[in-house]
Each structure stands twice: as C-alpha cells, then as structure tokens.
Amino acid sequence: MKLGIYLNAQHPAGDDPGRRFAETIEQARLIRSLGFDSIWGGEHHVTPRFHYFPLLPMLQRLAAEEAAEAERQAAAEAEAAEGGETAAEGSEAALLSEAPAEVAPEPAAEGASAAVAGEEGEADGQR
C-alpha cells in the first residue's frame, strides 16, 4: 500500500509568506523522512482572512526540493562509500548542512568565549 498526505498551504493573511513557505518546505522534508509516498495539495476559494500558495507552483517547488534532496543524498552516500562513513551519517551531515538560515544557530559574538573565560578566572580569584 502507498500512503500520501495532504499538505495545506493556507495561512492567515497577516503572516509572513516567506516564513510560511519555509515551514511548508520543512513539512515536506518531514513527510518524506517519515516514508510517505506522495504529497497532495488542494485549493480553497473564498476563504476570508486567509491566503494560500498557488497549488501548482507550490507543488513544483516541492518537487524540485525533493530532486535536490535526492541528489544530496546520493552524493552523501557516494562520499560515505569513499570515506568510510555510513550512508546514514553522510546523509545526516548533508541534511544538517542544508538547514534554512532561520533554523541555523547564531554564531557567537566575537570575544564571547574570552568573556566567559574571564568570568571563570574571576570566580577562581585568578584575575
């Protein structure tokens, strides 16, 4: 049996569409990682106070994302085969390196580690 899932692209009119689309892509990645065979979309017309992404362009973008992920995974598997990593480790590294900017951790401010080290020194009376 093959299973698909409906992905709703509807969101409140006041929400940031860029953020909502990034969330839609993350949902599609999760759907794929959970083993679903397909993603379905639908349109709602005349829904006051809501917007939705146009169905065909959204599904085309998600299909392109899937193709790019398949290429990354194949490259990671090939690299893992050459470097001795397991395919799972390589694909995890590839996925983590492709995290959206809003999800990636913020770099530490310059001198932050020195400030922490200085605080530790003060606590020990070494400053």
Residues in Cβ contact with 111 at an 8 Å cutoff, skipping those fewer than 6 apart: none
Distance of alpha carbon 3 from alpha carbon 44, whole angstroms? 23
Average pLDDT, stretch 90-99?
Answer: 50
Distance of alpha carbon 89 from alpha carbon 80, whole angstroms? 8
The pLDDT value recorded for residue 127 is 42
Residues in Cβ contact with 9 at an 8 Å cutoff, skipping those fewer than 6 apart: 24, 41, 52, 53, 55, 58
Concatenating the DSSP letter of every residue in 64-112 gives: HHHHHHHHHHHHHHHHHHHHS--HHHHHHHHHHHT--TTTSPPPPPTTH
Query: Who has greater pLDDT, 33 or 124?
Result: 33
Q: Radius of gyration (Cα) for the chain, nearest Å?
A: 21
The pLDDT value recorded for residue 27 is 92
pLDDT tens digits for range 41-94:
887 777 788 888 888 899 999 999 888 888 998 999 998 888 765 555 555 555
Whole-model pTM above 0.85?
A: no
Say whether 34 sits in a helix, a strand or coil: coil
Provide the CB-side half-sphere exposure for 49 (13 A, CA).
0
pLDDT tens digits for range 3-28:
999 988 888 989 999 999 999 999 99
